[in-house]
Amino acid sequence: MADDRSVTDPSSTEAPPSVAESRTTLALLTLDGFLCAVLTVLFLPAYIGTAPFPVSILVGAAVNLLLVIGARQFTDRVLVAAAPLLGWLFGFAVCTIGGPGGDVLVFEDWRTLLLFVGAVLPAGVYLFRVQVETMVARAQN
C-alpha cells in the first residue's frame, strides 16, 4: 500500500534542499523583491474616482513579509533571509532615480513615505523577532 502522507506532514522524510537549490531559490526571491518594489511604485498613484487609493502599500507589505518568510525556509541566517527585502530596497532606490528628461516614478508625497515604511516594517519586525529568538536560544544553551 502506498504511503500517502501530505507534503505538510512534519513526519514525512524529505531530503533537505541542496546548497545549489537554496541559493537559486534565494536569488529568485531576491529578484521577486526587486520586482515587487517596481510594481508597488508603479501602482502607487492609483485612484478610485477622484480619491487616491494606494493599495500597493498593503500589497508591498504582505508580499515582502511572505518573501522573507519563504527565504527563512532555506537559510538559518537572518541576514541571508533578508535578501528579498534588500532586493525590494534596491528596486525602490532605482525607482527614485530620475530618468532621461527628468521623468521620475517616485514623487515627493505622503504615499511614497507610507509605501517605504509600510513595505519594509512588517518584514523588518519579523526579521528582528527571529534574530532576538535566535540570540535567546543561543544564550540558553
Q: What is the C-alpha to C-alpha distance for residues 99 and 36, in angstroms, rounded to an integer?
A: 20
Q: Per this entry, what is the length of the chain? A: 141
- Taking each helix axis as running N to C, give the angle between helix 19-42 and helix 110-140, from 0 to 180 degrees, rounded to the nearest 10: 150
Helices H / strands E in the chain, number of each: 5, 2
- Segment 18-44, tens digit of pLDDT: 888 989 999 999 999 999 999 999 999
Task: Tell me if 71 sits within 8 A of 16, measured CB to CB.
Answer: no
Arithmetic mean of pLDDT, 62-78 = 94
Q: Is the pLDDT of residue 123 over 80?
A: yes
Closest by CA position to 30, among listed 79, 76, 97: 79
- Contact call for residues 68 and 82 (beta carbons, < 8 A): yes
pLDDT in tens, 50-65: 888 889 999 999 999 9
| 3-class secondary structure, 59 | helix
- What is the rounded CA–CA span in Å between residue 125 and residue 68? 11
Residue 2 has pLDDT above 80, yes or no: no
CA 10 – CA 13 distance, rounded (Å):
8
